Amino acid sequence: MSIFSKLKDIWHNDPLLQRVVKSSGVLFSGSTISAGLSVIQSIFAARALTVYGLGVMGGVMTFTSAVDRLLSFRMGELVIKYMGEYLARGEKQRAAAVFKAAALVETLTSILSYLLVLLTAPIAASLFAKDPAAAPFFVFYGLIIPAGFAYETSIAVLQIGGRFREQAILNVFQSLLSAGLIVFAFFAQADLWMILAAYLLGKTLSGFGLALLAVRYLNQEIGRDWWKASFDLLPPRREFLSFAFSSNISGTINLFAKDSEILWINYFINPAAGGYYRIALSIINFILMPIDPFIRTTFPEIARAVAENAWARLRALLRRLTLISGIWTGLVALAFVLAGGPLISLMYGEQYAPAVGTLLILLLGYGAANVLFWNRPLILSLGLPTYPIVVMSIAGLAKVLLGFVLVPRYGPLAEAGLLSAYFLVSIGLIVWRGLAEIKRKVINDKKGEEI
């Protein structure tokens, strides 16, 4: 039986996989258009700026995102876990209380994050743009943080409610706005200010749009008085705060280990090297594009299967998702290995050709992360939020320390190698623990049946 025939049989006999894929497909259709527009954005932004200017832009964007994530409690995961459970049990007022608390915390932290950007902009400009005069860029683009005041909370609510079509449409409009402005900036020979403004306006549309969609869903599902729900209905305070802080710690580890690559490159070398690295990361998004919707749609399904002790169903879902993501990742990776260099030169210009080496090394780590994308939703659903923190802390610390030794000497290739190694080690250990926990629970359930 061919692999395609096997996939066809799996599809017809697995309603859970059908539900996940169909929900992901709605997001994917919008993501495909958005990804195409994102490619247009990156191409015209790269051609409008010099390699050095692109590195400065990457430093500004990455620093702003880093500050935002530093104070973020990743409210999306908390909302999916608690609000999803309460809605499933019909406890709508408790679900409303969770949304209120999450949105309020996320809004307050976004304000604090922007204030931190204001305070640290001069230092950031010196370290990551190698030019103190670049501080206004950081202050201006930092407005993207308060613009997404309830971004994570809103997305989680829409995931719970299955409102994927609305998300897809909003993503397309956001991408159209940003892409249109960047193309205009290219032909108008505008500078970095216009490019940053294009990204900022697009994210502002997305932030406010998602919040409005989430409120509309709550009005329909719970009633217009949802905002009156008492905070006394929240889960036990210690449990609630523990989950939030564990997610924050996890996000902070990822921040230093894998989400601040441009900052490390700009700091250790210069923004020109950061410009090449940004091109490589932009192309990597081709691999991530169709899998990202799966991450959003599988978390609720995995959590539901764990809650129902449906271990056979869960294992089957994980195997089949791995098969689907593995086929896609392998095909795209092969295409980049064979034609990565010519593609970079054709799309971005000959000046960005040195990015191909970095791209090929990053394919190793991002490929593994793509194939096993379900590792974090699984471990969280199994009630083991601290395990990935320990694993990522050790692997992340090793990566950062080695970066101080290797990157100044060997450049972006060393940073790419360290990042891929981080992915392979941390994700491998998290997957191993998650599957071992499922096996343990299956054995315990069988013992219980025998008794």
Highest mean pLDDT among 10-19, 56-65, 336-345: 56-65
pLDDT over 90 percentage in the chain: 49
CB neighbour list of residue 98: distance below 8 Å, 6 or more residues apart = 78, 79, 82, 83, 86, 234, 235
How sure is the predictor about 395, in pLDDT bands with cuts at 50, 70 and 90? very high
Tally of domains in the chain:
1
Mean pLDDT (whole number) for 104-115: 94
Range of the domain at 273: 3-450
pLDDT over 70 percentage in the chain: 86
Residue 428 has pLDDT above 70, yes or no: yes
How sure is the predictor about 17, in pLDDT bands with cuts at 50, 70 and 90? low
Please state the pTM of the whole predicted model: 0.80
- Express each pLDDT in 112-152 by its tens digit: 999 999 999 999 999 999 999 999 999 999 999 999 989 98
Range in 46-50, 136-140, 162-166 the model is least confident about: 162-166
